[in-house]
Every structure is written in C-alpha cells, then in structure tokens.
C-alpha cells in the first residue's frame, strides 16, 4: 500500500535513516531482501551498507583543513637564529633546532624565512679563513684526551685510565672520569 501511495514520488532519507536501513538490510541478507517488497532496492541498501562500513575506516571526521602549521615560538626562533647568525644556512639552523629538540625540515625553515623577509645565507662557496674561524669560536674550544697510569694497590699493579677535558681559552683542566 505504501508503494502504491508513493508511486512517482521520491522519498528522501536522512543519513541516520540510511544507516539504520543499511544495518537492518545487512542483518536480513541480500537473498531475503530480493524476495521482500522493499521501498528501496536491495542493491541500494547493500550500497548504503558498504558506504557505512567504508566511512568507519576513512577517519574523515578527524581530518582538519590541512597540515598543521609550525608553532609561532619555533617560527620566531628560526627568524632570530637567522638574523643573529647571518652566516648560517638552512641546514645549520635545522641542526641548531634539532639540538633544542625541535624537528623542523629545511623546506619549512626556508618558507619561514621567506615569509618573514629574511634572505638566505650567502653562498657557502666562500671559504672562511682559519684565523677568522678560530677567533670566532676560541672561547668554546675544548680538547680532550686520556692517559694511563700504573698504581700499586692491594690487588697488585693496576692500570688506571684518566679522561680529561681542557678549555682552550683559559687552560682549565677538568677530570671527566677515572676507571681501571
């Protein structure tokens, strides 16, 4: 009777109604649906069910408008590093950020600098002289080495190894460790 009354008219279902009908249709089975007189064809009901199952696994409800942007603090840090160290290139800035536990790609660094109007570092084909390099980094240079010494103990003659680090700028020696 319902089909006769609706002849020629199209019924619009909501997504919730389609999901309900698809679940019920799957429970009944395709063979039984063919024998029944349904408002919607069995093929349509099965298609709705396949789409319902596919939606469960596509995670489209989790998707945002795109890849998340870089944090403002990291972006400001990239610009500050580039301005404070004009000789640093993208890779050097990337390494410095990695040391600070920030994983940022070279392309991202290039995009941030371009967006902030900071020019990239000059060509690194120009070699810096050793004297300039040494003057620039003299205060942070350190040398390390070890030596061994034989010591008489209650167990007899034992070799001890001493690891030490020396600050080049001020000549201070620090013993890093001793082991036998």
* 141 and 135 Cβ atoms separated by less than 8 Å: no
Rounded (to 5) percent helix, strand, coil in the chain: 50, 15, 35
pLDDT at residue 15, rounded to an integer: 87
For 22, other C-beta atoms within 10 Å of its C-beta total 21
pLDDT at residue 159, rounded to an integer: 92
Q: Across the chain, what does the average pLDDT equal? A: 85
> Two tokens at 125?
């084909």
Q: What does the pLDDT look like over 64-73, one tens digit per residue?
A: 777 777 788 8
Residue 105: CA atoms inside 13 Å, Cβ hemisphere, count? Answer: 5
Residues 6+ apart with CB under 8 A from 50: none
Partners of residue 151 on adjacent β-strands: 158
Q: What does the pLDDT look like over 73-121, one tens digit per residue?
A: 899 999 999 888 888 888 999 999 999 999 999 999 999 998 888 877 7
> Two tokens at 170?
């001020």
pLDDT at residue 98, rounded to an integer: 93
128 pLDDT band, cuts 50/70/90, is confident
For 110, other C-beta atoms within 10 Å of its C-beta total 15
* Contacts for 42-45: CB closer than 8 Å, 24+ residues apart: 45/21
> Two tokens at 164?
């030490």
pTM: 0.36
124 pLDDT band, cuts 50/70/90, is very low
Instruction: Give CA–CA dist 85/118, Å, rounded.
Output: 12
């Amino acid at each position: 009777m319902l089909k006769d009354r609706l002849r020629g008219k199209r019924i619009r279902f909501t997504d919730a109604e389609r999901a309900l009908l698809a679940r019920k249709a799957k429970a009944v089975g395709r063979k039984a649906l063919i024998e029944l007189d349904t408002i919607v064809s069995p093929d349509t009901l099965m298609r709705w069910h396949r789409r319902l199952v596919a939606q469960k696994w596509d995670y489209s409800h989790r998707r945002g408008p795109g890849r998340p942007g870089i944090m403002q603090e990291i972006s400001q840090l990239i610009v500050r590093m580039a301005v404070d160290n004009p000789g640093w290139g993208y890779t050097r800035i990337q390494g410095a950020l990695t040391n600070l536990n920030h994983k940022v790609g070279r392309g991202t660094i290039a995009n941030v600098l371009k967006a902030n109007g900071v020019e990239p570092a000059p060509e690194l084909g120009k070699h810096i002289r050793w004297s300039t390099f040494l003057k620039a980094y003299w205060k942070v240079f350190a040398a390390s080495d070890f030596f061994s010494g034989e010591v008489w103990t209650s167990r007899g003659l034992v070799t001890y190894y001493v690891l030490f680090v020396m600050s080049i700028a001020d000549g201070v020696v620090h013993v890093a460790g001793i082991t036998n």
